[in-house]
Amino acid sequence: MSGWSLERLLAGLHGEIEMRLQRTRAAIGHPVAKGDAAEGVWIELLTNYLPRRYRVAKAFVIDSTDTTSQQLDIVIYDRQYTPLIFNQDGTLVIPAESVYAVFEAKQSIDASQVDYAAKKIASVRALHRTSLPIPSASGLQPAKAPGRIIGGLLTFESEWSPPIGDPLKNALQAAEAIAPLDMGCVAAHGNFYRANGGTTIEPSTRAATAFLLELIAQLQTEATVPMIDIRAYAKFLKG
């Protein structure tokens, strides 16, 4: 026997994330600093545990028509096949083709935060994404249709009672007119997932770990991002 326990390892991962989010909420008084710290906790979790093909950062997303999204707290994007990542004095601007998922990270969930996250997600999903045929050893493969960009909301606490019951379901249903939220985590209480047109809400004492594993599973189904048409961006070169 090795002495390791998968159950204890998964529980410990959630416990660490919940403790850090709780400490951030309690110890930092300035709301902007508190928000930045919470984003940092989630970004570190995803950076540490997602496969290395993915990168995670706060960023804007831009497309080849020169349209830009609102700034997103968390963008999960491809770095292996995406050559065009702009870093302007620490602010990242990422091409739309490279994006797998976007999340807002807040201290607490309520109807206004769900609505806010939906508007941020909509600003990314509305962007144009190019896709080129893919050269391979067996010949030119058809261009891959861009996949759905996963969107969601990550928080520590909830303003509702019950924390993740009908009020959450109603807020998610209202947000569908803007941009459906695919998944989310309320670390102290549980998770929500959208599948087959409906929403599943799962109370959990290990919500952060459950969210991480479900996110990885959903990313696996998307495989690789489309092959970006670099020339579509190059047309903006002048002089």
Q: Where are the domains of the chain?
A: 6-226
Is 66 a known active-site residue?
Answer: no
Residue pair 173/199 in contact (Cβ under 8 Å)? The answer is: yes
| Residue that wins the pLDDT comparison between 25 and 153 | 153
Out of 18, 63, 73, 78, pick the active-site residue: 73
Instruction: Look up 169 and say whether it is catalytic.
Output: no
Percent of the chain beyond pLDDT 70?
A: 91
Residue 66 is predicted with a pLDDT of 95
pTM value surpassing 0.85: yes
83/114: higher pLDDT: 114
Q: What confidence category does residue 239 fall into, taking pLDDT thresholds of 50, 70 and 90?
A: low
Active site residue 222: no
Q: Above 90 in pLDDT, residue 63? A: yes
Contact 114, 172 (CB under 8 A): yes
Mean pLDDT across the chain: 88
The predicted-structure confidence for 82-109, as pLDDT tens digits, reads as follows: 877 888 888 999 999 999 999 999 989 9
